[in-house]
Amino acid sequence: MNGTKRAWIRPSQIALLALLAVAAGCGPKLLKYYDSATWADRDNQVEVKAFTMDSPTEESKTLLLLLGPQGQEALIQEIGKRTDSKDPSQLIETLTDPHILKGKEVIEKTSFKKSVIFSVTKDPKAHFTPADRISDLKVTLVTEPKRPIFESWDKFVTQEETIEAGTMKKTQGLTGELGMQIGPGAGAVIPVSAEPKLTASENLEEDLTLKKRRVKLSGAIDPDKTGATLYQEGAPGIDLNGTFMVDFKIRVPHSDLALQRLVTLGSLYKGKVPAASKDAEVKFSYLREPSVKQPIKCKLDYEYVVRKVVGREKIISEGYHQVQFQRGHGEDAITLVSGRDLQTMVFCIARRVGQNDRLIYLAGGPEEGKGAMYLTSLDNARSFLNWLRQTKSQTISKNEYDITLQGQPLRPEDYPHLYIKIKRIPEISE
């Protein structure tokens, strides 16, 4: 028209310009944590409580389980070929005994795996709004009195994320997507609608599993093993209000030389007939027990940062908020290992004399040991009590061991008054 050419804008160019405009307009807000911020100290905003529960531990592996598939197959074939009169059950019993790898049977009661569950709550009196959140939290456990008990931690679980010891790789990116609808025909020069979209992604790769990473977690054990520190940092929009859990491996103070002898009696009966004292068997195991006399307690210290929105709180996007970061701290106490956890239940045979209980002792034999007979099970204690009442024996196991009432010979009138006493060792004061 009048020799002048009109420049037409192609649909692809308009779409590209729209995408760039949206990206340019939203970019600063996507990257900003707040519009403006101040800092203040405010205690009594957040409360952290904790309790413990047992965490599953790996069972002891036996010799049979340590054999590979070919080794187990060869064992089965070899037992099937045997034509002699030897009973293979003794071999099988040896291969399935978890203690045979350690030589003398020692029962450990000094190592524990505990899950500590922390509860993080905001105080309603602090007048929180839905836009406010706990952004950072540091929790410290210190034993009181100080004892080197923390061996390691191997699992950190929150409502948002789980971290286990292992290899982790973080990946993140930004993708653009343009949804377009063209007008009446393919030759149209102006698009009817164009909807550009931006999507931010951030992932954590751990053991070949992609997980959404929303909370930064870290933890450390003090060099002297008397304390542990745990730290959480929430990503934008994530409130640390709630619960999280950490698995600790704990080793309580003990003496490697002071072992408590436990007794298991066998072959007390032949059918329903009490066996002769020389035919009864005595087996020993040894308990490595804690040297502490009270539960293991910790002081729980915590520090937090609350992201308090003081302006533009009606806007959901955090990049528009005017905020005040409020720092605070608090403390509490937690029983990490209870007195009952530190103790082992044993069963004794006793007689009441006056106001005191006198226990059955076992002395002599190859062990040359003496002291109270601590039996490992209630069934074994019942069998032994019935056997004693029926045989009125004062010796056992080829007459190698003497049975006494706390060092004094058993009299005929003592046997009817014997009973089973349940005891927990060592003695712990709560």
Tens digit of pLDDT for each residue in 351-403?
A: 999 889 999 999 887 655 568 899 999 999 999 999 999 999 999 987 689 99
Which pairing describes strands 193-206 and 209-212: parallel, antiparallel, or unpaired?
antiparallel
- The answer, as to whether pTM is greater than 0.85, is no
Architecture of domain 34-57+110-161+214-253+294-339 in this structure: Sandwich (2.60)
Tens digit of pLDDT for each residue in 96-142?
A: 554 444 446 788 889 999 999 999 999 988 889 888 999 999 999 99
Q: Which of 23-32, 238-247, 258-267, 320-329 is predicted least confidently?
A: 23-32
DSSP per position, 168-186:
EEEEEEEEEEEEEE--SST
Tens digit of pLDDT for each residue in 401-419?
A: 999 999 899 999 999 999 9
The domain locations on the chain are: 34-57+110-161+214-253+294-339, 255-291+343-430
How far apart, in whole angstroms, are the C-alpha atoms of residue 124 and residue 130?
Answer: 12
**What region does 44 belong to: left with phi over 0, alpha with psi -120 to 50, or beta?**
left
Question: Residue 210: is its pLDDT beyond 90?
Answer: no
Which residue(s) pair with 305 in the sheet? 136, 327
352-373 exposure pattern, b = at least 16 Cβ within 10 A, e = fewer: eeeeeebbbbbebbeeeeeebb
Q: Please state, rounded to an integer, the average pLDDT across all residues of the chain.
A: 77
Q: Is 386 helix (H, G, I), strand (E, B) or coil?
A: helix
Residues with Cβ within 8 Å of residue 31, at least 6 apart in sequence: 319
Measuring CA to CA, how many Å separate 162 from each of 56, 140, 182? Answer: 17, 20, 46
Tens digit of pLDDT for each residue in 2-34?
A: 555 555 556 555 555 555 554 554 444 446 778
Check: CB of residue 303 under 8 Å from CB of residue 295. Answer: no
